Chain A
Amino acid sequence: MQHPAFEEVTIHHHTDDATFKKKVKNTTILLSVITVVELIIGLTIYNIHKGEAPNELLVLMFKGMVCILTLAKAYYIVSVFMHLGDEIRNVIMTIVVPLLLFIWFITAFIWDGNSYKNLRNKYDAHYKETSVTPAKH
Chain B
Amino acid sequence: MATTATVQQTKWWTGGKSPFNMEYGKLMMWYFLMSDAFTFGAFLISYGSIRFSQNFWPDPSVVFNAFPGAGHANLPLAFVSVMTFILIISSVTMVLAVHAGHNNDKQGVVKWLFWTIVGGAAFLGCQAWEWHHLITGEHAVLVNGQLDIVGQTTRINPWGRLAAQADIATAIQNTPREMLIRLAEMGGHEHAGTAHTNFASLPNAELIKAIDVEGLHIRENGPVAFGGYFFGITGFHGFHVFSGVIINIIMLLMTQKDVFARRGHYLMIEKAGLYWHFVDLVWVFVFLCFYLI
A91 within 8 A of B: yes
A14 to B94, CA, bound (A): 17
Tell whether, in the assembled complex, residue B52 and residue A20 are in contact, meaning their CB atoms are under 8 Å apart.
no
Chain B residues near A94: list those with CB within 8 A: 20, 31
Tell whether, in the assembled complex, residue B45 and residue A105 are in contact, meaning their CB atoms are under 8 Å apart.
yes
A78 to B284, CA, bound (A): 12
Asked if A95 meets B34 with Cβ closer than 8 Å, knowing A10-B17, A90-B19, A113-B53, the reply is yes
Tell whether, in the assembled complex, residue B264 and residue A5 are in contact, meaning their CB atoms are under 8 Å apart.
yes
Count of interface residues, chain A, beta-carbon cutoff 8 Å: 64
Q: When the two chains form the complex, which single residue of B12, B22, B77 contacts A46, counting CB atoms closer than 8 Å?
A: B77
Tell whether, in the assembled complex, residue B20 and residue A113 are in contact, meaning their CB atoms are under 8 Å apart.
no
A43 to B21, CA, bound (A): 45
Tell whether, in the assembled complex, residue A63 and residue B263 are in contact, meaning their CB atoms are under 8 Å apart.
no
B164 within 8 A of A: yes
Main SS at interface, chain B: helix
- In chain A, positions 39-92 with a C-beta closer than 8 Å to chain B are 39, 41-43, 45-46, 49, 63, 66-67, 70, 73-74, 77-78, 81-82, 84, 87-88, 90-91
Nearest opposing residue in chain A for B12, CB measure: A90
B206 within 8 A of A: no
Tell whether, in the assembled complex, residue B21 and residue A35 are in contact, meaning their CB atoms are under 8 Å apart.
no
Chain B residues near A5: list those with CB within 8 A: 23, 263-265, 267
Q: When the two chains form the complex, which single residue of A7, A43, A101 contacts B76, counting CB atoms closer than 8 Å?
A: A43
B175 within 8 A of A: no
Asked if A117 meets B293 with Cβ closer than 8 Å, knowing A35-B85, A91-B20, the reply is no
Asked if A110 meets B49 with Cβ closer than 8 Å, knowing A46-B77, A98-B34, the reply is yes
Asked if A66 meets B292 with Cβ closer than 8 Å, knowing A35-B85, A81-B277, A99-B34, the reply is yes
Tell whether, in the assembled complex, residue A14 and residue B102 are in contact, meaning their CB atoms are under 8 Å apart.
yes
- 1/0 per residue A1-26: CB within 8 Å of B? 00111111111001001001000100
Tell whether, in the assembled complex, residue A106 and residue B45 are in contact, meaning their CB atoms are under 8 Å apart.
yes
A28 to B90, CA, bound (A): 11
Interchain nearest-CB distance for B19 vs A (Å): 6
- In chain A, positions 106-122 with a C-beta closer than 8 Å to chain B are 106, 109-110, 112-114, 116-117, 120-121
Chain B residues near A120: list those with CB within 8 A: 53
Tell whether, in the assembled complex, residue B96 and residue A74 are in contact, meaning their CB atoms are under 8 Å apart.
no
Interchain nearest-CB distance for A36 vs B (Å): 8
- In chain B, positions 12-43 with a C-beta closer than 8 Å to chain A are 12, 16-23, 27, 30-31, 34, 37-38, 41-42
Interchain nearest-CB distance for B286 vs A (Å): 10
Asked if A46 meets B277 with Cβ closer than 8 Å, knowing A5-B265, A66-B292, A91-B20, the reply is no
What 10 A-B pairs have minimum CB-CB distances, sorted nearest first?
A113-B52, A113-B49, A113-B53, A131-B55, A109-B49, A46-B61, A8-B18, A116-B53, A5-B265, A70-B288
